[in-house]
A and B are shown apart, each in its own frame.
Chain A
Amino acid sequence: MIRRYLLPRPLHPFSWWGWAIALAVAASSASNPLLLLGIIAVASLVVMARRADSPWAKAFKLYLWLGVFIVILRVGFRIVFGGGDGPTILFNLPEVPLPTWVRGIRLLGSVSLEAVLTGLYDGLRLATIIICVGAANALANPKKLLASLPGALYELGTIMVVAVSALPQLGDSLQRVMRARKLRRSPEARTRRQRLRVVETIIVPVLSDALERSLSLAASMDVRGYGRSGTANPLDRALGLALGLGAMSLIAVWAYRYLANAPDTFVLGFPVLSTALLLLGLAAAGLALWVSGRTVQRTRYRPIRWGLAETLVVASGVAAALLIRLIARYGDATALFPSIHPFTWPELTLPLLGVLAIAALPAFITPPPYAAAPRRQPA
């Protein structure tokens, strides 16, 4: 049975997204750089082990570079706009004098270790969240994700799928047109009007091309049955609408109370009224989607069933996030938030190592993806 469980298959995209978002939530409630680096390493490990062989799976390293860029940008900002507020000065840059009415902003000047460290910790937090989202992207085919949307949101998904597919074609088109431009002898574009002309020579063919392609695509989809209206009756539609509006109102009220820190009674650390509102709102939203989707006659080819592996993946992510929250709220939170001034070395305690281990479980306990086709050697 274990062998059957471990047969290669793709996992449901929602499970990977659930895991990744839980990890991102865990990362946002900590500032320990070792923990954050650990989460990044865990995300990378799971991606390397379980990603499919598709173009966006290979784009994961772009997210890693983006993370590096964010950290550098944050630290740079701290250095440029107010780096000298800590007691430990690293080095001095010449300060750029600003008029006195620009209070609160200081350009360059001395750079303190505290400022650099806060920039580093903050940037690392944001980078970790982004890398978690990138991991979800790499592990779960976004198009499959859109296809897994409930029936009522299918049109939205299709729009996005088509838009995403159109981009490479636009790129090809642009390349071709730019190359073709060289065939016409165009005089030097000196005046602004001439330069606008140059833009026109590029944009018009590309957009016309795109328009024609989109018409062909629409015809092809139409011919294959896209857009058949379902068997909805007025009652169903009204019910769906009412549920949808109700869901939105409930969630709006919850959001307002949450952001305004409205007072509430607490049971086990959860605000009673707010949680009730949120759950009711989500239930109503789910019901609305189900009612609207019921009448749509569309099936899915080789749908991915939600199995034990998916539950385990989501559970590991949620467990990691819960553990971090428990430590932050009820345990000794010093490991999660190493202080910068006075500086304490960030360390990974046993519970935090446990969190990383749990978060890394999906790399080992889930079925692997399909094996890639053997690469052809160039002749």
Chain B
Amino acid sequence: MRARPATLFPALLLALAGAWVTAPSADAATVTDGHCSTDTGVTVVVDHQELGGGIVVKCVEGYEPGASGLEVIRAAGFAPEGTVHDGSGFVCRLGGRPGVNETIPLASDPGYRETCVDTPPNGAFWAYFHADNGGAWTFSNLGAGNREAIPGGYEAFSFSLNRSEGANPAPGVQPSHEVVKPTPTPAQTIAAPAPAPEPTRTVEPRPKDESPSAPRKTTRPTVSANPVPPSDAPTPEPTTETPTPTPTLAPTPEASSPSPSVSAPESPEVADEPTTVSATPTASATVVTTPAPPVDAVVEDNDPPVGTFIGLGAVGALALGGGAVWWRRRGL
């Protein structure tokens, strides 16, 4: 064990040199929008509360058995970030929120910015909840990485702002869904959601509660940040419906607000083809919801930007200067 740190550095260099080792764990998982409809998938809910950004619900299927809540949430594409001080033990940032330039109106510090260096203050942090299907939200007393995700259950993060101890707000989604046994043929599913398309033309899911088709009792009215996405939701091609809104979550909060994709799953149904209607949550096969790519966005190319070279150059110059001064003052 003592020799291991010495081998760490070549390994580090290799990893950074360009070949990204993508997370192996997520290749088996599939992610869809909305509640799960089976009893094996885990529904992940992220409620931004006062942070702005609405509620995002995703379903993750086919993850490794025994995966922790954190792994499931990562598989759902939310890119949880820990702090420098605690490691990933404390989730500090989800999907890039709160961003490093985002001002959070803490009571004790109105200009507070979450830098994710130290543990977030207890007036502004992501509270971790979980619930069984049909159960009630429970504020977890273990970290997301320390407990296994409940198959068929719910894992959630809800942003707690300026709340006192114990008063953390639960996510604004009812943790229950109907369990539908997975059916092999897509044809069946065509029939089922037929009624669905019409109401969802407006893509405002809330008003009409499609009880027959939508296995999910959907959202409460708090999904406020919706306006933006619905506009593009109907338009995209059937095959590529959901991908546009959902995937690019991480980098810029504003730009990717399509996350309130509660509507999204419905949007495919907006498209007329009955075939696409088959984009019911269950028929994850046809709905090419590209499994939310675990490696999110910004990885343009693996070359470091100019700033890094300038920085390395500056540090090197300073160090050389210090060495030169030291040499001269030694009197040699």
| Interface of A toward B, CB cutoff 8 Å | 29-31, 34-35, 37-38, 41-42, 44-45, 47-49, 72, 75-76, 78-80, 82, 85-91, 93, 103-104, 108, 111, 113-116, 118-119, 121-122, 125, 261-264, 266, 269, 271, 328-330, 332-337, 339-349, 352-353, 356, 360, 363, 372, 374-375
B5 in contact with A48 (CB, 8 Å)? no
Residues of B310-332 whose CB lies within 8 A of A:
310-312, 314-315, 318-319, 321-323, 325-326, 329, 331
A residues in contact with B22, CB < 8 Å = 87-88
- Scan B71-96; emit 1 where CB is below 8 A from any A CB, else 0: 00010000101111101110000000
Interchain CA distance A111-B84 in the complex, whole Å: 16
Q: B146 to A104, Cβ gap below 8 A?
A: yes
17 cross-chain CB contacts under 8 A:
A44-B318, A45-B319, A48-B323, A48-B329, A72-B5, A78-B87, A79-B4, A85-B70, A85-B89, A86-B88, A87-B23, A90-B15, A104-B89, A261-B108, A329-B113, A340-B84, A342-B299
**B87 engages A115 (CB within 8 Å):** yes
Any A CB within 8 A of the CB of B285: no
B167 CB contacts on chain A under 8 angstroms: none
Tell me, rounded to whole Å, the shortest Cβ–Cβ distance linking B230 to chain A: 28
A-contacting 9-mer, from B37-45, B116-124, B218-226, B235-243: B116-124
> Which one of A31, A82, A329 lies within 8 Å of B89 (CB-CB)?
A82
Q: Does B193 contact A (CB under 8 A)?
A: no
Please measure, in the bound complex, the distance between the C-alpha atom of A35 and the C-alpha atom of B308, giving whole angstroms: 10
Q: Is B295 an interface residue (CB 8 A)?
A: yes
Task: A48-B323, A342-B296 are known; give 9 further A-B pairs, CB within 8 A.
Answer: A29-B115, A31-B117, A34-B308, A38-B311, A45-B319, A48-B322, A88-B15, A118-B87, A346-B311
Interface of A is mostly: mixed
Chain B residues near A104: list those with CB within 8 A.
Answer: 89, 142-143, 146
A328 pairs with B115, CB closer than 8 A = yes
A340 and B81 in contact, given A34-B315, A49-B325 (Cβ under 8 angstroms): yes
A340 to B117, CA, bound (A): 11
B307 on interface, CB distance cutoff 8 Å: yes
> For residues 285 through 304 of chain B, which have their beta carbon under 8 Å from a beta carbon of chain A?
294-299, 304
Q: A75-B8, A116-B12, A356-B318 are in contact. Are A342 and B311 (CB under 8 A)?
A: no
**A82 touching B107 by the CB < 8 A rule?**
no
B1-41 interface bits toward A, Cβ cutoff 8 Å, 1 = contact, 0 = none: 10011001001100110001111111000000000000000
Query: A residues within 8 A CB of B24?
Result: 89
CA distance in complex: A264, B111 (Å): 12
For A83, the closest partner residue in chain B by CB is B87
| Cβ–Cβ contact A87 & B298, under 8 A | no
Across the interface, A337 reaches (CB within 8 A) one of B25, B88, B100, B250, namely: B100
**Are A31 and B84 closer than 8 Å at their CB atoms?**
yes
A residues in contact with B110, CB < 8 Å: 266
Is residue B166 contacting chain A, with contact meaning CB distance below 8 A?
no
Whether a CB of chain A sits under 8 angstroms from the CB of B101 is: yes
Do residues B318 and A38 form an inter-chain contact, with CB atoms below 8 A? yes
- Across the interface, which residues of B come within 8 angstroms of A122, CB to CB? 84-85
| A31-B115, A261-B121 known; A345-B12 Cβ under 8 A | no
Return chain A residues, CB-CB under 8 Å to B321.
45
Q: Does B109 contact A (CB under 8 A)?
A: yes
Residue of A with least CB distance to B325? A48
Residues of B at the A interface (CB closer than 8 Å) are: 1, 4-5, 8, 11-12, 15-16, 20-26, 70, 74, 79, 81-85, 87-89, 100-101, 106-111, 113, 115-117, 121-123, 142-143, 145-146, 250, 294-299, 304-308, 310-312, 314-315, 318-319, 321-323, 325-326, 329, 331
* A85 B115 Cβ-Cβ under 8 A: no
Q: Chain B residues with Cβ under 8 A from A30's Cβ?
A: 117
- Distance of B191 from chain A, by nearest CB (Å): 40
Q: Which residues of A contact B325 (CB under 8 A)?
A: 45, 48-49, 363
Q: Smallest CB-CB separation from A105: which chain B residue?
A: B146
Chain B residues with CB under 8 Å of A353's CB are 310-311, 314
- B12 near A90 with CB under 8 A, answer yes
The answer, among B26, B107, B115, B122, for a CB contact under 8 Å with A333, is B115
> Is B87 touching A82 in the complex (CB atoms < 8 A)?
yes
Complex-state Cα separation, A264 to B108, whole angstroms: 6
Q: Is the CB of B5 within 8 A of A347?
A: no
Q: For residue B290, give the distance in angstroms from its CB to the closest CB of chain A.
A: 18
Smallest CB–CB gap between A281 and chain B, Å?
19
Please indicate the chain B residues that have their CB under 8 angstroms from the CB of A344 in the complex.
298
CA distance A263 to B106 in the complex (A): 9
Contact of B15 among A29, A113, A261 (CB under 8 A): A113
Whether B106 contacts A261 by the Cβ 8 Å rule is yes
**Chain A residues whose C-beta falls within 8 Å of the C-beta of B299 in the assembled complex:** 342
Leading 3 A-B pairs by shortest Cβ distance: A347-B307, A348-B311, A41-B318
Contacts known (A114-B88, A122-B84, A261-B107); A332 close to B101, Cβ less than 8 A: yes
Other-chain residue from B11, B111, B146, B295 in contact with A329 (beta carbon distance below 8 A): B111
Which residues of A sit under 8 angstroms from B307, Cβ to Cβ? 335, 345, 347-349
A87 touches B318 (CB 8 A): no
Closest CB in chain B relative to A19 CB, distance in Å: 16
> How far, in Å, is A7 (CB) from chain B's closest CB?
18
Residue in contact with A345 in the complex, picked from B8, B21, B308, CB distance below 8 Å: B308
Residue of A nearest to B324 (CB): A48
Q: How far in angstroms is the closest Cβ of chain A from B161?
A: 13
- A372 with B15: in contact, given A31-B84, A103-B142 (CB under 8 Å)? no
CB contacts (< 8 Å) of A332 on chain B: these are 101
Chain B: minimal CB distance from A320 (Å): 14
Q: In the complex, what's the smallest C-beta–C-beta distance from A54 to chain B, in angstroms?
A: 13
Complex alpha-carbon distance, A37 and B315, angstroms: 7
